[in-house]
């Protein structure tokens, strides 16, 4: 019996070592960074806890309970905080401040929900440059908000053994779906419930993103892995138009057009009024100038010509001379 128990224990250890470990999200180390953890299932969260893997053990960093409040361990005080201080929205993302090389490693987000039980997500923090990829041959799709389907058909002749879909951002890479075709099992801890086809022998893979919005825009990568180890990668750039933004832009353009037409009409009215006023002023004679001209005409004396005859009978000549006072005669 002891030998059988030992054999079972060794078998469990072997299976655990052989089991693949997936990083649901890979984050680039930054001074201020956020480890995302959003519960995608239906249920009421009762407690959230973040742990860091230290060798073979996991160290508790922060715990949040709606009844008992928040507890952050000393090494992480004033350095980490929950972005959502309540359980509303099922978002238990953890934000770092003044992160350093010591924060590189593997983190686990452990959520307890009723009635579905516990749920975990693994996040890896690495020292790396931007995760941006130089795009050469890729598809670009522009879609409206709603359910979005991304599809890729395998080109190589070998049969695929694994299929993996990822979303790539400059600061992080999210695993959307991992499908083991040989076993027909799919794995996903993405914040949205991704729908996919995971059956043995498929040559085309698709994922359905429900209720896709503008935040789901970005670069997506699909990778097929064959049993021989060969892989094939497909990149797709997705843009989800924001209906609200479009309507706001339409309203803004309409309002701007109306205002422009209003200004044009006002300018036309002002110019027309000014032109009419100028014409009226030109048609009205200048009284001051006409009066001055009449005065000049009245004061102007025509010179007497030397050849003009003088008629003594018809014209009287008056001479003004001063009157002198008479002196009294002296008496002798």
Print the SS3 string covering the chain.
Answer: CHHHHHHHHHHHHHHHHHCCCCCCEEEECCCCEEECCECCCCCEEEEEEEEEEECCEEEEEEEEECCCEEEECHHHCCCEEECCCCCHHHECCEEECCCCHHHCEEEEEEEEEECCEEEEEEEEEECCCCCCCCCCCCEEEEECCEEEEEEEECCCCCCEEEEEEEEECCCEEEEEEEEECCCCEEECCCCCCCEECCCCCCCEEEEEEEEECHHHCEEEEEEEEECCCCEEEEEEEEEECCHHHHHHHHHHHHHHHHHHHHHHHHHHHHHHHHHHHHHHHHHCCCHHHHHHHHHHHHHCCCCCCCCCCCCCCCCCCCCCCCCCCCCCCCCC
Q: Other C-beta atoms within 10 Å of 154: how many?
A: 18
Of the candidate CATH numbers 3.40.50.300, 1.20.1730.10, 2.60.40.10, 3.40.120.10, the domain formed by 19-126 belongs to 2.60.40.10
pLDDT digits (tens, 9 = 90+) for 49-72: 999 998 889 999 999 998 888 999
pLDDT at position 14, please? 41
pLDDT at position 103, please? 95
Architecture field, domain 139-243: Sandwich (2.60)
pLDDT digits (tens, 9 = 90+) for 236-289: 999 999 765 455 666 777 888 888 888 889 989 998 888 887 877 777 665 555
Residues 6+ apart with CB under 8 A from 320: none
pTM of the predicted protein model = 0.66
User: How far, in Å, are 137, 224, 234, 241, 307 from residue 154 at the CA level?
Assistant: 16, 7, 9, 29, 128
For 187-202, letters b (16+ CB in 10 Å) and e give ebbbbeebebebeeeb
pLDDT at position 252, please? 72
pLDDT at position 322, please? 57
Within the chain, all domains assigned CATH 2.60.40.10 are found at 19-126, 139-243
Cα 1 from chain centroid (whole Å): 65
Bond preceding residue 115 cis, omega within 30 of 0: yes
Residues of the chain short of pLDDT 70, as ranges, are 1-21, 87-89, 135-137, 243-250, 284-332
């Amino acid at each position: 019996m002891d030998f059988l128990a030992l054999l079972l224990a060794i078998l469990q250890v072997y299976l655990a070592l052989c089991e693949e470990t997936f990083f649901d999200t890979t984050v680039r180390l930054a001074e201020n960074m956020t480890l995302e953890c959003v519960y995608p299932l239906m249920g009421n969260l009762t407690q959230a806890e973040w742990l860091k893997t230290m060798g073979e053990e996991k160290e508790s960093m922060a715990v949040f309970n709606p009844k008992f409040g928040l507890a952050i361990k000393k090494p992480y005080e004033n350095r980490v905080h929950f972005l959502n201080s309540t359980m509303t929205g099922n978002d238990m993302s953890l934000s770092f401040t003044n992160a350093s090389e010591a924060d590189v490693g593997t983190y686990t987000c452990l959520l307890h929900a009723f009635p579905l039980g516990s749920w975990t997500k693994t996040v890896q923090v690495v020292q790396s440059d931007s995760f941006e990829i130089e795009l050469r041959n890729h598809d670009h799709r522009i879609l409206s908000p709603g359910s979005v389907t991304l599809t890729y058909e395998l080109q190589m002749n070998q049969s695929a053994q694994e299929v993996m879909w990822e979303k790539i951002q400059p600061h992080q890479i999210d695993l959307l779906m991992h499908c083991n075709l040989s076993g027909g099992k799919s794995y996903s801890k993405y914040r949205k419930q991704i729908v996919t086809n995971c059956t043995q022998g498929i040559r085309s893979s698709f994922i359905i993103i429900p209720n896709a919005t503008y935040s789901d825009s970005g670069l997506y990568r699909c990778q097929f892995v064959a049993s021989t180890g060969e892989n094939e990668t497909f990149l797709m750039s997705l843009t989800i138009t924001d209906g609200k933004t479009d309507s706001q832009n339409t309203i803004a353009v309409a309002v701007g057009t109306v205002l422009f037409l209003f200004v044009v009409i006002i300018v036309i009215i002002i110019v027309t009024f000014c032109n009419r006023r100028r014409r009226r002023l030109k048609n009205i004679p200048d009284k001051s100038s006409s009066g001055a001209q009449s005065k000049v005409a009245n004061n102007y004396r025509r010179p007497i010509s030397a050849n003009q005859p003088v008629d003594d009978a018809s014209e009287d000549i008056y001479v003004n001379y001063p009157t002198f006072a008479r002196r009294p005669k002296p008496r002798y």
